[in-house]
Amino acid sequence: MTFRLHASWCHSLKEKRMLVKSLIVKLQNKYHVSAAEIDKQDTYQIIVIGIAAIVPNNALADSLMDDISLFIEQNTEAEILDEEREIR
């Protein structure tokens, strides 16, 4: 999954890093996924987070992606601009 978020209140890279780090740690602890900021590291109001997981079947993958999407929506004040899902 890839999420593109907009944090309008961030006015420095330091503020952005704190937000990104907090969200990534929460995702990793709750869902045991790999997560990282994958793009726009030098842009302080745009956040692009990539998330990957290994699951046994497509149904579980869909369920996990739904849960993660809801979790991000509820655990950050940043606006979700885009969400991409991919199952391989």
Q: What is the pLDDT of residues 22-40, one digit of tens each?
A: 999 999 999 999 999 999 9
Q: What is the pLDDT of residues 33-72, one digit of tens each?
A: 999 999 998 998 999 999 999 999 999 999 999 999 999 9
**Alpha-carbon dihedral of residues 26, 20, 58, 86, nearest 10 degrees?**
180
Q: Based on the structure, what is the number of domains in the chain? A: 1
Q: How confident is the model at residue 78 (pLDDT cuts 50, 70, 90)?
A: very high
Which residues are 28's β-sheet partners? none
The terminus-to-terminus CA distance of the chain in angstroms comes to 11
Q: How confident is the model at residue 73 (pLDDT cuts 50, 70, 90)?
A: very high
Q: Which domain holds residue 12?
A: 2-84
CA–CA separation, 1 and 44 (whole Å): 21
CATH number at 50 reads: 3.30.70.1120
Question: Quick one: pLDDT at residue 19?
Answer: 94
